[in-house]
Amino acid sequence: MYRLKRFLELYLLKIYNIGLERNFRTVLFLIDLFLPKSDFKIQKENNIQINSPSMQKQDLPIFAQEISLVEKLPENDELTTIIFIVPNSDETLTKLTILKLAKSLDHVYNVNYIVITRFGELVLSNRTFNSILSIEEIINTEPDLIFFEIHTIYEKYGLINEQDFISLKRFTKTKIVGICFDIWRDFDIRFIHKWESLVDNFIHMDQDSVDKYSLSPDKMIFWPFAGWVNQTIPKPNKDNVIIFSGNLRPSDRRYALKHIKKISTKLKLRMYINKIDHSHSGESKFEEIYYDNLNRSQYVIGLAQKSKKSTLITFRTLESIHLNCTLLQQELDGSSPLSMMFVPNTHYLPFKSLDDIELLLSNIAQQEDKYLTIGKSGGDFMSKYYSPKLMWKYLLYKLD
């Protein structure tokens, strides 16, 4: 029954996408009656004053300051061996992201990496090994670090399990690092608590939730790995369209996108809803389509409110900035996580209400050239401060 319900929801959302693109308002209204509702709504009233984008000198955001301090440290001459553990089969988003994370180490000096499944099957390595590694062979590689996604490695069967992690810690100097794709749900917190006695650190992209749930500050390392693991080259001339690519299931997103579509039509701007939801695009070919659509679009709507009380730094947020898109990013009162990394109104455009979006889009329609510089400014800033080399140097320093 659950699978049937899920199938019908996804099918209705596909029809909803078509209806939104073609302004079939009756279809949108009817489907809204059947799709699941959210228990929060995007704010309606105007809450912020949109400033004119300025390229004046700004103080560096807090995370860029930390990166700058580590950048000045000497390179580590000792060889570092890192093992990544990925899901066993199929090209899930989790697996693809960790593979890209490993490949980004090609930019880093003096690091060996190995990517294996929990059964010990070798997926990727910059050294030569057997196609399958036993736990003894893994121990013999003397890894310095082992990364695993906290929701994936919890089955009772397979080579790598909780007892194997204990053996690795006992017989090697390895540190175990849990990758957190999400923190804000109770579901995620349970997994963090499950592993916290075993892992040395967690890497995450959600400092608001770390603070909210009072998670151990000495173990939780803010390290937003989503933006730069894809090395797609930004297109210099993008289509003058606004794109949203994401999960439409929460009703607040559908409501917001209908409003944005109406505004864009009035202003004669083109609004495009990507047919591929990034959160469900596991296969490589769908990832390529997703990045191509994103890379061709000048403006990106970031509806990042996943929990009731906070906005998040999402994959799409950082990927948009990396690709030099002009990002219109949702934030809540008192919650601006992206400002830890970038300067608002210089590297991206924040909004808190639908009135804010209308004001932003009106300004874009009237002064397009001024707003084109936002995307390029954000992308250049990411390349300078959040390159793979600097991000890994920062993380290795924090894990030392």
pLDDT of residue 46: 58
For residue 105, give the nearest of 83, 136, 86, 88 by alpha carbon.
83
Question: What pTM was estimated for this model as a whole?
Answer: 0.88
CATH topology of domain 69-229+387-399: Rossmann fold (3.40.50)
Q: What is the CA radius of gyration of the chain?
A: 22
Q: Which CATH number fits domain 231-385: 3.40.50.2000, 1.20.1440.120, 3.10.20.440, 3.40.50.300?
A: 3.40.50.2000
Same fold, 69-229+387-399 and 231-385: yes
- Residue 352 reports pLDDT greater than 60: yes
- Please state the domain extents for the chain: 69-229+387-399, 231-385
pLDDT of residue 55: 41
Q: Tell me how far apart the alpha carbons of residues 225 and 198 are, in angstroms, rounded to a whole number.
A: 22
Q: How confident is the model at residue 312 (pLDDT cuts 50, 70, 90)?
A: confident
Do 132 and 172 touch, CB atoms closer than 8 A?
A: no
Provide φ and ψ at 215, rounded to 5°: -75, 155
Structure-token pair, residue 231: 């090395």
Q: What is the mean pLDDT of residues 199-205?
A: 95
User: Using one digit for the tens of pLDDT, what is the confidence trace for 241-283?
Assistant: 898 877 777 677 888 888 888 888 888 888 887 755 555 555 5
- Residue 167 reports pLDDT greater than 50: yes
pLDDT of residue 56: 45
Percentage of the chain modeled with pLDDT above 70: 85
